[in-house]
Amino acid sequence: MVEKENNKESLPEISIEQLEEGVQHVNNPIIGLMPIEKRYLKSVKEYVQNNNNFYFSDGEARVEVRVVSDEIIRVRLAPHGTFLEEFSYAVNKPEQRVTVFSFDEDEDKYWVKTNTVTCLISKKDFLISFQDNQGLVTNEDYTTMHWEENADFGGYYVYCTKKCSPEENFYGLGDKPTGFNLRGKRFQNWNTDTYSFAKDQDPLYRSIPFYIGIKEGVSYGVFLDNTYKTHFDFGHQEHDKTSFWADGGEIQYYYIHGPHMMDVVKRYHTLTGTHPLPPQWALGYHQCRWSYYPESKLKSLAKNFRERKIPCDALYLDIDYMDGYRCFTWNKKYFPDPKRMIKELLNDGFKTVVIIDPGIKVDDNYWVFREGKENKYFCRRSDDYFMEGHVWPGRCQFPDYTNPEVRQWWGGLFKELVEVGVAGVWNDMNEPAVFGSGTFPNDVRHQYDGHRGSHRKAHNVYGMQMVRATYDGLKKLQKNKRPFTITRAGYSGVQRYSSVWTGDNLASWEHLRLASLQCQRLSVSGVSFCGTDIGGFTGEPDGELFTRWIQLGVFTPFMRAHSAGDTREREPWSFGKEYEDINRKFIELRYRLLPYIYSAFWEQHRYGFPILRPIVMVEQDVKTNLVREEEFTFGDKILISPVMEPGQTSKVLYLPAGKWYDYWTHEPFEGGMEHTVATPLDSMPIFVKAGSVIPEWPLMQYVGEFEPDEIKFQIYYSDYEVNSFYFEDHGDTFAYEQDIYTEKKFVVKGDATMLNIKQFSEGLYTPRYETYELKLIGLPFIPSKVYIDGKEQNQDLKFDELKRVIIHANKNFRNIEIFK
């Protein structure tokens, strides 16, 4: 196996201390020691308004304050008065609906005000701050925005330094492998291939320059839409300053108002988009390895799943399925007839997902290379030579995915793979990774959708544009079927095109904990459809670690086991019968909960709700000493407290305020406090909020194995009113865009003598099944009568061994009343 080096070619770190000084010297690796003068905004001399844009000038530099919506205000800085062209890969809707805003000024300040947020610009020193309707200042400049001219590439380093209050905490920034709260830490965003990454290593594969601050119980967000290398410091260098800066481009940040963390995340999604609804099969269990080959190996893997009755939906082909690692080719020795093989796997319920990397082998006898070369689709250096580097196939050139024509071409290359039946595509190595040097040199040129620039500007979006091209291509080729894509690299907005996994992690308990933190963090950073290599990519997990990871994996939106080529076998049965049985039990749980999981994906797609929600999001004012960071909710109803230590037989966990039920025993628990619960290996603490209606499918070995003739709902008694949502549709087409879906709302409320369940439906989809099985959990009385839509029913109302009462109802019921 080849170990890949990290990108070592970066400019020396500049400390905040240096930043706050006027003139400094930076040792630049290209041109040596050079003076850099730091320039600051001076007093505001004039302002001009143009609709919802306000321009403030100090005579030379200009600042634009744009009211984007009631809750979002954008700030830009142009050091010499000319703003860069309006263009963003992240923000797909720059103009939002502006309702009411006003402008005012007093002796000291200008006020740009919406219904919910006010941006204040001080006249004397050009400091910018934001406050809410109650006058609470949530975010304010410590120094004015500033910049350094950089002769090296003709741009600026641009800086913004904010005050950081003593109690302020910070979240977000994508997949940083560190403790959940970012306070006291400093980070960089520069997509980097980090094989076997360590805890606290930075940067990793993705760049999401978006953070959430919580100050005095109020949340706000800052999204720095800058694709250059960016830096964030949350009170690390100096405890009272939070800074963000970029090695080029513009200070262009969106201030996003809360007051709740959920509001901030939803509003961030209104800027950068949500995940499209994935095909339902993509939510099943996926089995991957570097690599399953030849065909007989893949077939025996498939046979094992079905014979052992462990549900599975997708099998992966890593790089060895190709001919000499040439993308879009097959190794015919290993896979003589891919079309037949894929069809046979499909008949058995398995989808095939293949890896496609960006490096195209330099080989004039290879059609992809020839086409790319003839059409000038590959990246070039500043001296007009092609960008060449070594990756798996050896000497390679790399498509410039920031060119729309190249994206179009790339999308079309999947034609044959789609024709042979490939169901999903996995884009890897797209930081972009290059052996030896780490990545491309900074001077590589990019078309950048007509806003030409160097690799400094395009590096962090390269992977996102690759998977965008893949997604768009598949969407066209698969006609009305939803594409499934997975990418390693990405930038804010990547969620519009792909799911992601966290890259080459390690088989260790520490990485199991990181897996939970990284997925939660991605989820609040706009990338909900995420997962980790279950079991750890490198190294060897023992049975216990693998099983605990499968348990966590059930509740990561993307569930895939993957391992490096030099590791031992890593399937759910590889560790002996005891572990196999538990792994099966948990993968089955995933399949039973698929309608709940799918509904959470709908809520993400339609409304921008993150799928995983850290405890601090569920309960913003939670006392931090009560939070176990690995704990989170999946959707808004199910809380998971995964087991993170070997040999652990019990753990202390925290339940947010309200009433909860143990998923396994149905025992009720009070929230707002800690509990100690048993954690034998065959179990994991799972709690369900009182009042929830949780849909379950009958057990299937793969999605679509059969049409369920009944949907089960677990209904958890509550004495306060609780709403639950359930979504269903065809599961793999875009018909939902024409309203061919059903969104159901259940409202549950009980008292000492009765339980009432109401159902409301919206949408045009008609499922085939007719009835519901409703399992009533936690009834505080022995029921004697049940009415459905006013009619008394003759149903058996006994408690079963799990203290549930089971009733049946037509799927269109509107009102059920159960009486003591």
What is the identity of the amino acid at 719?
D
- What distance, in Å, lies between the first and last C-alpha atoms of the chain? 67
DSSP 772-789: EEEEEE--SS---EEEET
CA angle (247, 253, 256) in 5-degree steps: 150
Q: Which is nearer to ligand GLC, 274 or 538 (CB)?
A: 538
Q: Which is nearer to ligand GLC, 446 or 488 (CB)?
A: 488
CB 7 within 8 A of CB 389: no
What is the identity of the amino acid at 438?
G
Residues 755 and 429: their CA atoms lie apart, in Å, by 54
- Which whole-number Å values give the CA distances from 309 to 483, 547, 575, 646, in the listed order? 27, 17, 16, 27
Residue 806: CB partners within 8 Å, gap ≥ 6?
773, 774, 775, 776, 800
Residues 521 and 437: their CA atoms lie apart, in Å, by 29
* Residue 212 C-beta: closest distance to ligand GLC, Å: 28
Query: Which DSSP state fits 326?
Result: B
Q: How far is C-alpha 746 from the chain's CA centre?
A: 28
- Residue 105 structure tokens: 């000024």
- Which whole-number Å values give the CA distances from 331 to 2, 301, 326, 338, in the listed order? 21, 19, 9, 10
Q: Which residues contribute to the site for ligand GLC (CB under 6 A)?
A: 195, 290, 318-319, 355, 428, 488, 503-504, 562
* Residue 315 C-beta: closest distance to ligand GLC, Å: 14
Q: Which is nearer to ligand GLC, 273 or 503 (CB)?
A: 503
* Residue 612 C-beta: closest distance to ligand GLC, Å: 22
* Residue 432 C-beta: closest distance to ligand GLC, Å: 13
Residues 765 and 728: their CA atoms lie apart, in Å, by 8
Nearest alpha carbon to residue 20 among 255, 251, 248, 240: 240
Q: Which of 148, 428, 580, 636 is catalytic?
A: 428
Q: Which is nearer to ligand GLC, 195 or 687 (CB)?
A: 195
Q: Which is nearer to ligand GLC, 357 or 544 (CB)?
A: 357
Q: Which of 70, 431, 619, 728 is catalytic?
A: 431
What is the identity of the amino acid at 136?
L
C-beta nearest to ligand GLC: residue: 290
Q: Which is nearer to ligand GLC, 319 or 788 (CB)?
A: 319
Residues 533 and 503: their CA atoms lie apart, in Å, by 7
- Residue 216 structure tokens: 């005095």
E strands of 591-692, at which residues? 612-614, 632-634, 638-640, 650-655, 659-662, 668-670, 673-678, 686-689
* Residue 441 C-beta: closest distance to ligand GLC, Å: 22
At 519 the three-state DSSP class reads helix
* Residue 498 C-beta: closest distance to ligand GLC, Å: 15
Q: Which is nearer to ligand GLC, 445 or 562 (CB)?
A: 562
CB 481 within 8 A of CB 279: yes
Active site residue 431: yes
Please report where in the chains the tokens 């143990």 appear, as a residue.
662
* Residue 318 C-beta: closest distance to ligand GLC, Å: 5
Nearest alpha carbon to residue 229 among 13, 487, 466: 13
Q: Which of 318, 357, 504, 728 is catalytic?
A: 504
Q: Which is nearer to ligand GLC, 442 or 532 (CB)?
A: 532
Q: Which is nearer to ligand GLC, 221 or 503 (CB)?
A: 503
Q: Which is nearer to ligand GLC, 68 or 319 (CB)?
A: 319
Active site residue 428: yes
Residues 224 and 208: their CA atoms lie apart, in Å, by 9
- Residue 244 structure tokens: 């963000």
604: left (phi over 0), alpha (psi -120 to 50) or beta: alpha
What is the identity of the amino acid at 258?
G
Q: Which is nearer to ligand GLC, 393 or 526 (CB)?
A: 393
Active site residue 247: no
Q: Which is nearer to ligand GLC, 5 or 817 (CB)?
A: 5
* Residue 531 C-beta: closest distance to ligand GLC, Å: 12
* Residue 312 C-beta: closest distance to ligand GLC, Å: 18
- Residue 228 structure tokens: 């250059």
What is the identity of the amino acid at 372?
G
SS (H, E, C) 388-421: EEEECCEEEECECCCCHHHHHHHHHCCHHHHHHC
CB 817 within 8 A of CB 784: no
- Which whole-number Å values give the CA distances from 166 to 89, 141, 184, 216, 290, in the listed order? 35, 15, 11, 10, 47
* Residue 351 C-beta: closest distance to ligand GLC, Å: 18
Please report where in the chains the tokens 């800086």 appear, as a residue.
159
- Residue 738 structure tokens: 């024409």
* Residue 503 C-beta: closest distance to ligand GLC, Å: 5
* Residue 379 C-beta: closest distance to ligand GLC, Å: 21
- Name the maximum alpha-carbon separation found in the chain: 88
Residue 303: CB partners within 8 Å, gap ≥ 6?
none
Q: Which is nearer to ligand GLC, 313 or 357 (CB)?
A: 357
* Residue 632 C-beta: closest distance to ligand GLC, Å: 24
Neighbours of 365 (CB within 10 A): 8
Active site residues: 428, 431, 504
